[in-house]
Amino acid sequence: MSEKKRFALFPRQYGLFPYIFLVYLLMPGYYVSQESGLKQILGYVLLFLFLFTYRQLYMSSEAKNMFSFWLFMQIGIILILSLFYNVNNVFLGFFSAHFIGWYQRKKIFFYMLMFLAGTIILPFLIHMEAHDFERSIFYFTPFIIIMLVAPFGIRSMISRMELERKLDEANEQIKELVKREERMRIARDLHDTLGHTLSLLALKSQLVGKLAVKDPERAHKEAQEMERTARSALSQVRELVSDMRTITVAEEIIEVQALLQTAGIAFHLNGDSDLSDIPYLTQNILSLCLKEAVTNVVKHSGAKNCHVSICSLEGEVVIAIEDDGEGISDPTRLGNGLKGMEERLELIDGSLQLTSKHGTRLEITVPIIIKEREAEDVS
């Protein structure tokens, strides 16, 4: 059975901000309490409606018609409380000024701003004789100016946040398009470089099978030609891999450092991350395993520190990722990630070892064959 959705007075993404503003309802509540009879009851009803519109405005959005309805009602309540209760209730306009800034459409933004300006100014004009006008001007003018200018600042801030969100989305789309284009390029290169070669090998293998009995000498020559063709194909593959965009361990170290910093985990690097002398394929696989291991630290460990040690020895590279978290109480949490790392490391005869005592330590060992490096350099 699914868990029931818990009630929230305001959307959780706004944090404590909406609750802090509720403090400013104490002043109009005090003014209403000074009244008596039906007027006092109506005053409390209006304050309750004001609080309701305040909540509904957070629950709505600027693009929906109900947002304008609740904002219009809220400003109307401010006008009534300022005219018939106390002129100081115009300070409730700070609530509405905040929401007016949410409008991105200029026309409705200025309409609502003029409506708020009229709501604030009208009570002063009506109650001018009952108050010391000159004294009231000096007292209220700075607050009125701030109240009417604030929506512009809020609108600008929201526009910038929206622009940043769209830029992030555009960047993600660009990344996906780059990946897709890279896959298509690899597919085209494989087809162009290996398609003809593999077709030729298939035909020659059939020919060798037919000549093995009838003409062994010619079959031997064809087999030698197949070997040369296969070596040429291998060279083409190596050239293709060399041209591919690879992720080096040094580049991945920068990425995981940023990831850990975002998660509030201190990053410590021991050893040299420059492994440029090892093959590209090995660097790629080590980088992917390093990223997976650090992602597990962020998601599951609850650690405060993460140590990455890189040791390049004669014939092998050892990378250890160690954290001071709670350890692994449930190994299935990392099952898929560990399996993926093992499958990648099998391609380069690598291995990994996981230990969990005071925190977790993952050690990755990859053999580096000198002939492999020389062959790659030659190709």
DSSP string, 38-64: HHHHHHHHHHHHHHHHHHHHHHS-TTS
> Given this model, what pLDDT does residue 120 score?
87
DSSP 179-234: HHHHHHHHHHHHHHHHHHHHHHHHHHHHHHHHHHHH-HHHHHHHHHHHHHHHHHHH
Based on DSSP, count helices (H) and strands (E) in the chain, helices before strands. Answer: 12, 5
Q: How far apart are CA 131 and CA 133, in angstroms?
A: 6
3-state SS class at 270: strand
Q: How far apart are CA 71 and CA 291, in angstroms?
A: 48
> Given this model, what pLDDT does residue 320 score?
92
Show pLDDT as tens, one digit a residue, over the chain (379 residues).
444 556 667 777 777 888 888 888 888 888 888 888 899 999 999 999 999 998 888 887 655 678 888 999 999 999 999 888 888 888 898 888 988 888 888 888 898 899 998 888 888 777 766 555 556 677 777 888 888 898 898 888 888 888 888 888 887 887 777 677 767 766 666 665 666 667 667 777 877 777 777 788 887 887 887 777 777 777 666 666 555 556 788 888 888 888 888 778 899 999 888 877 787 778 888 888 888 888 888 877 788 899 999 988 878 899 999 998 877 766 555 566 777 788 778 878 888 888 887 788 899 999 876 434 444 444 4
> Given this model, what pLDDT does residue 235 score?
67
Give the tens place of pLDDT for each residue, 67-103.
Answer: 888 999 999 999 999 888 888 888 898 888 988 888 8
Please, which residues bridge with residue 313 across strands?
Answer: 316
**Residue 302 gets which letter from DSSP?**
-
- pTM of this prediction? 0.47
Both structure tokens of 92: 């409730």
> Given this model, what pLDDT does residue 50 score?
92
> Given this model, what pLDDT does residue 303 score?
85
Both structure tokens of 298: 């962020």
> Given this model, what pLDDT does residue 10 score?
77
> Given this model, what pLDDT does residue 77 score?
92
Q: How far apart are CA 122 and CA 40, in angstroms?
A: 22
Stated as kind and residue range, the H or E segment containing 332 is none
Q: How far apart are CA 62 and CA 68, in angstroms?
A: 7
Both structure tokens of 263: 């998660």
**Residue 165 gets which letter from DSSP?**
H
Give the tens place of pLDDT for each residue, 131-155.
Answer: 555 566 777 778 888 888 988 988 8
